[in-house]
Amino acid sequence: MATQDVTRTKPKITRTNAPKKEEHPAEGEVVHVEHPSEGQYWKIFFILFAVTAVEVLLYYVPVPGVNLNNAALGILAIFKFVVVVGYFMHLKFDNRILRRLFVTGLVLAIFCYLVFLLTMGVFIDPPNARP
């Protein structure tokens, strides 16, 4: 009977109660990761669809009085990016080692190319002032 308990028990490990175990589970310990349900996937999709529609709307209809369209478009794109990575790619629920691997590449890319673009004056000079 005790043998059956060992094989069937799959304890849930979350970041809040056992962060160490998530990274280095003991031998024989099963890491069970909860993913969103199919209904939640549909909800996430409709949110992403709505955000995309708002983006296209912002392209055609500038917000009156303020010139924040580009900033708003950037924020919405970051939101969509984070939602897809977090929920569809399950990075929100997966092991933090995987998160670190991806985030390292992402942060390195953003830092590296931001420095490159700033050095080349892309965000500083108006386009017609550049050679």
Q: Report the 10 Å Cβ neighbour count for 13.
A: 20
Check residue 116 for interaction with another protein (CB under 8 A).
yes
85 closest CA partner among 71, 70, 113, 106: 106
Q: How many residues make up the chain in this entry?
A: 131
Check residue 58 for interaction with another protein (CB under 8 A).
yes
- Judge contact between 87 and 46, C-beta under 8 A: no
- Judge contact between 73 and 90, C-beta under 8 A: no
- Judge contact between 88 and 30, C-beta under 8 A: no
Q: Is 99 exposed, middle or buried (0-12, 13-18, 19+ CB in 10 A)?
A: middle
Check residue 59 for interaction with another protein (CB under 8 A).
yes
Contacting another protein within 30-49 (CB under 8 A): 30-31, 35, 38, 41-42, 44-45, 48-49
Check residue 64 for interaction with another protein (CB under 8 A).
no
Check residue 3 for interaction with another protein (CB under 8 A).
yes
In the stretch 72-111, what mask flags binding to another protein with x, by CB under 8 A?
Answer: -xx-xx--xx--xx--xx-----x-xx--xxxxxx-xxx-
- Binding interface with another protein (CB under 8 A): 2-3, 6-7, 23-25, 27-31, 35, 38, 41-42, 44-45, 48-49, 52, 55-56, 58-60, 70, 73-74, 76-77, 80-81, 84-85, 88-89, 95, 97-98, 101-106, 108-110, 112-113, 116-117, 120, 122, 127, 130-131
